[in-house]
C-alpha cells in the first residue's frame, strides 16, 4: 500500500485536484511534449532544405527547437510561465467579453429603453 | 550519461527523485503495525527497530543493484515500459481504502515479523527504486541522495507526506507526469534503440505522446464525456499502430515513407499505415457499443 493512499484526496487526485494545480501540471506536460518535439526535429534539416532563414530570421530560436534537451527544472519553470499566461489571458478575455453579455431583464443595471 | 555536479541537469534529476520518493513511498508504518500487533510489548519495539533497519538495508541493496541491472541491454526499455504502467496506476482513482495484501496475518515470532516487514518493503520499493534508477542517469551520488531522502520518509516523514498530498493533490499529477517523462528518457536511452532513434527522430515524438497518453489516461478520462471515453483506448492504439509500421519498416527493410515509395506495394503499405486503422477503430467502437455498453445498460434497467 502506498503512503498517498492514506489520504482520500490524494488517492483520487484526478478528481480532487484544484483547477489552478491542474492547469500548472497540464502546462508542464505540454512543455514536455514540446521538448520531445524539439528532440525529434534536427535543426540541420533546415539547412539541408535551404530553410536556414526559418530558424534565424523568422524567430525560430524561440520555437520548440530551443526546447531540445530541456531539464525538468526548465520544464517546470516554462510550465509555470505558461500556466500564468493562460490564467491572465482567461481573466483579460473574461473582462473583455463579460460586458458583451446582455444583463438579465430583471437586473438592476438593466437600462430601460422605451422607443 | 554522466551528470555534471551541481548543474541544471543534476538538480533536475534530484527534483525528479524527490517527487518520485514522495508519490511512490510505501506505507511501512502500516505494515509494521499489522505484523507486530499480536507480539508482546517488549518484542514490538525490537520489531519496529530491526524491521525499519532491514527495510532501509534492502532498499539500499536494491538501489545499488538497479544501477547495474539498468546497464544491461534491454532492461532500460523494460524499466521504462514498467514506469509508464506505474504512473498510470498512480493516477488511477482509488474509491475505497486498499487493504494491504502483503501482510496476510500478524506474525507469531520476532524473526517472522522482521522477515515479513523486509519482504513487504522490498515488494513496495521495487517501483520506487526502478524510477530512481531511471531518473538518476546512472549517477551513484544521486542514488545515494535518493536513498537519503526516502529513508526519513520511511521512518518519520509519513504524516508530513500525507498532509502535503492531501493539501495539494496536484503533486500526484506532477509525480505521474515526471514518472512518465523519466520512462520516456529511459526508453530513448536504451542502448539497443539509441541508433534506431537517431535514424528515426520523429519516432521520439510519437513515443512521448504515446507514453503520456497511456500514463495520463485516468486523468484525461475524468474530463471526457461518456461518448469521448473510447479516446483513452483509441489514441494510444493509433500511436502504437504508427510506431509499429516504423519498426516493421526497419526490421523488414520496407519503404514506409510515401515520398520515397516507388512500387505499388510500397504505396499500398503507406495507405494501410495512414488509413488502415480506421476499420479497426470502427470495429472497436461497434463491439464496445454492442457488448459493453449494452450489458451495462441492461444491468442498470429495472427488472
What's the pLDDT tens digit per position in A84-103? 999 999 999 999 888 888 77
Residue A68 has pLDDT above 80, yes or no: no
Q: What percent of chain B clears pLDDT 70, i.e. is strictly above it? A: 92
Distance CA A12, CA A15 (A): 6
Residue B104 has pLDDT above 70, yes or no: no
For the segment B92-103, the average pLDDT, to the nearest whole number, is: 67
Q: First CA to last CA across chain A, in angstroms?
A: 72
**Domain contains B211:** no
Among the three residues B182, B206, B236, which one is the final residue of a domain in this structure?
B182
If one counts the domains in chain B, the total is 2
Q: What is the average pLDDT value for chain A, to the nearest integer?
A: 82
Q: pLDDT higher for B27 or A27?
A: A27
Q: How many CA atoms lie within 13 A of B7 on its CB side?
A: 8
Label residue B302 left, alpha or beta by phi (over 0 means left) and psi (-120 to 50 means alpha).
beta
Residue A56 has pLDDT above 80, yes or no: no
Claim to verify: residue B166 and residue B268 sit in the same structural domain? no
Distance CA B60, CA B56 (A): 6
User: By three-state DSSP, how is residue B109 classified?
Assistant: coil
Claim to verify: residue B174 and residue B268 sit in the same structural domain? no
Residue B178 has pLDDT above 80, yes or no: yes
Name the pLDDT band for B256 (thresholds 50, 70, 90): low
Claim to verify: residue B20 and residue B130 sit in the same structural domain? yes
Phi and psi at residue B262, to the nearest 5°: -125, -35
User: By three-state DSSP, how is residue B217 classified?
Assistant: helix
Claim to verify: residue B124 and residue B258 sit in the same structural domain? no
When scoring A6, A41, A49 by the number of chain B Cβ atoms within 10 A, the one with the most, hence best to mutate, is A6
Q: What is the pLDDT of residue A61?
A: 60
A12, closest residue in chain B (CA to CA): B93
Distance from CA of residue B174 to its chain's centroid?
A: 13
Nearest to B208 among A5, A36, A76 (CB): A36
Cβ within 8 Å, pair B204-A39: yes
Kindly report, residue by residue over B181-213, the tens digit of the pLDDT: 999 999 998 999 988 888 888 889 899 999 999
Residue B267 has pLDDT above 90, yes or no: no
Residue with cell 534529476: B13
Joined together, the cell numbers standing for residue B5 give 555536479
Q: What is the pLDDT of residue B273?
A: 86
Q: What is the pLDDT of residue A83?
A: 95
**Domain contains B106:** yes
**Domain contains B2:** no
Name the pLDDT band for B113 (thresholds 50, 70, 90): confident
Residue with cell 473582462: A95
Distance CA B133, CA B143 (A): 7
**H helical segments located in A12-71:** 13-16, 19-40, 43-48, 52-56
Q: What is the pLDDT of residue A81?
A: 95
Kindly report, residue by residue over B33-91, the tens digit of the pLDDT: 788 777 887 788 888 888 888 888 888 888 888 888 888 889 999 999 999 999 999 99
Residue A46 has pLDDT above 60, yes or no: yes
H, E, C per residue of B260-298: CCCCHHHHHHHHHHHHCHHHHHHHHHHHHHHHHHHHHHH
Q: Which of B182, B9, B204, B191 is nearest to B81 (CA)?
A: B182
Claim to verify: residue B154 and residue B245 sit in the same structural domain? no
**Residues with Cβ < 8 Å from B12, sequence gap 6 or more?**
A71, A72, A73, A74
Q: Which helix (H) or strand (E) holds B138?
A: none
Claim to verify: residue B144 and residue B283 sit in the same structural domain? no
Q: Which of B108, B90, B103 is nearest to B216 (CA)?
A: B90
Q: Give the domain ranges of chain A.
A: 3-100
DSSP class of residue A85 equals H
B5-19, B75-89, B251-265, B274-288: segment of lowest average pLDDT? B251-265
When scoring A20, A25, A80 by the number of chain B Cβ atoms within 10 A, the one with the most, hence best to mutate, is A25
Q: What is the pLDDT of residue A38?
A: 80
Residue A77 has pLDDT above 90, yes or no: yes
Q: What is the pLDDT of residue B98?
A: 57
For the segment B18-29, the average pLDDT, to the nearest whole number, is: 83
Q: Which range of residues forms the domain containing residue B15? A: 8-182
Q: What is the pLDDT of residue A115?
A: 63
Kindly report, residue by residue over B137-175, the tens digit of the pLDDT: 888 888 888 888 877 776 777 788 888 888 999 999 999
Q: pLDDT higher for A112 or B161?
A: B161
Claim to verify: residue B131 and residue B254 sit in the same structural domain? no
Burial A72-110 (b: 16+ CB within 10 A, else e): bbbbbebbeebbeeeeeeeeeeeeeeeeeeeeeeeeeee
Claim to verify: residue B135 and residue B232 sit in the same structural domain? no
Q: Which residues of A touch B (CB under 8 A)?
A: 1-7, 9-18, 21-22, 24-25, 28-29, 32-33, 36-37, 39-42, 71-76
User: By three-state DSSP, how is residue B155 classified?
Assistant: helix
Q: What is the pLDDT of residue B213?
A: 95
Q: What percent of chain B clears pLDDT 90, i.e. is strictly above it? A: 28
Joined together, the cell numbers standing for residue B16 give 525528479
Contacts of B93 in chain A (CB under 8 A): 11-15
Claim to verify: residue B176 and residue B242 sit in the same structural domain? no
Name the pLDDT band for B222 (thresholds 50, 70, 90): very high
**Domain contains B128:** yes
Q: What is the pLDDT of residue B32?
A: 79
Cβ within 8 Å, pair A40-B95: no
Q: pLDDT higher for B222 or A64?
A: B222
Q: Which of A62, A61, A69, A60 is nearest to A38 (CA)?
A: A69
Q: pLDDT higher for B295 or A43?
A: B295
Residue A114 has pLDDT above 80, yes or no: no
Q: First CA to last CA across chain B, in angstroms?
A: 64
Contacts of A1 in chain B (CB under 8 A): 26-27, 30-31, 98-100, 102, 124
Distance CA B43, CA B84 (A): 41
Do the Cβ atoms of B199 and B114 come closer than 8 Å?
no
Amino acid at each position: 500500500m502506498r503512503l498517498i493512499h492514506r489520504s482520500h484526496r490524494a488517492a483520487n487526485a484526478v478528481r480532487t485536484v484544484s483547477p489552478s494545480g491542474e492547469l500548472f501540471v497540464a502546462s508542464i506536460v505540454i512543455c514536455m511534449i514540446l521538448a520531445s518535439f524539439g528532440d525529434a526535429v534536427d535543426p540541420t534539416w533546415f539547412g539541408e532544405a535551404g530553410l536556414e532563414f526559418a530558424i534565424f530570421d523568422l524567430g525560430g530560436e524561440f520555437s520548440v527547437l530551443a526546447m531540445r534537451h530541456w531539464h525538468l527544472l526548465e520544464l517546470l519553470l516554462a510550465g509555470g510561465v505558461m500556466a500564468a499566461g493562460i490564467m491572465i489571458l482567461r481573466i483579460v478575455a473574461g473582462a473583455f467579453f463579460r460586458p458583451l453579455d446582455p444583463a438579465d431583464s430583471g437586473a438592476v443595471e438593466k437600462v430601460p429603453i422605451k422607443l | 550519461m554522466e551528470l555534471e555536479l551541481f548543474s541544471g541537469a543534476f538538480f533536475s534529476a534530484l527534483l525528479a527523485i524527490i517527487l518520485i520518493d514522495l508519490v511512490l513511498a510505501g506505507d511501512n508504518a502500516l505494515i509494521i503495525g499489522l505484523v507486530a500487533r499480536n507480539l508482546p510489548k517488549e518484542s514490538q519495539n525490537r520489531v519496529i527497530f530491526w524491521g525499519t533497519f532491514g527495510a532501509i538495508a534492502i532498499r539500499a541493496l536494491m538501489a545499488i543493484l538497479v544501477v547495474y541491472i539498468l546497464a544491461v541491454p534491454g532492461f532500460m526499455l523494460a524499466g521504462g515500459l514498467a514506469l509508464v504502467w506505474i504512473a498510470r496506476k498512480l493516477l488511477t482513482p482509488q474509491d475505497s481504502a486498499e487493504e494491504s495484501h502483503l501482510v496476510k496475518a500478524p506474525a507469531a515470532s520476532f524473526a517472522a515479523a522482521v522477515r515479513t516487514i523486509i519482504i513487504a518493503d522490498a515488494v513496495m520499493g521495487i517501483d520506487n527504486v526502478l524510477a530512481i534508477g531511471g531518473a538518476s542517469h546512472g549517477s551513484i551520488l544521486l542514488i545515494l541522495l535518493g536513498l537519503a531522502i526516502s529513508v526519513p520518509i520511511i521512518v518519520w516523514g509519513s504524516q508530513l507526506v500525507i498532509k502535503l498530498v492531501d493539501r495539494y493533490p496536484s503533486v500526484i499529477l506532477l509525480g505521474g507526469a515526471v514518472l512518465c517523462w523519466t520512462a520516456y528518457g529511459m526508453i530513448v536511452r536504451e542502448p539497443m534503440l539509441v541508433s534506431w532513434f537517431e535514424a528515426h527522430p520523429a519516432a521520439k515524438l510519437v513515443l512521448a505522446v504515446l507514453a503520456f497518453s497511456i500514463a495520463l489516461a485516468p486523468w484525461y478520462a475524468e474530463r471526457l464525456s461518456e461518448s469521448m471515453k473510447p479516446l483513452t483506448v483509441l489514441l494510444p492504439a493509433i500511436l502504437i499502430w504508427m510506431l509499429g509500421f516504423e519498426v516493421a519498416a526497419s526490421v523488414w527493410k520496407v519503404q514506409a515513407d510515401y515520398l520515397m515509395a516507388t512500387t505499388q506495394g510500397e504505396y499500398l503499405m503507406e495507405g494501410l499505415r495512414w488509413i488502415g486503422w480506421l476499420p479497426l477503430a470502427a470495429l472497436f467502437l461497434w463491439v464496445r457499443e454492442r457488448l459493453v455498453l449494452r450489458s451495462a445498460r441492461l444491468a442498470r434497467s429495472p427488472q
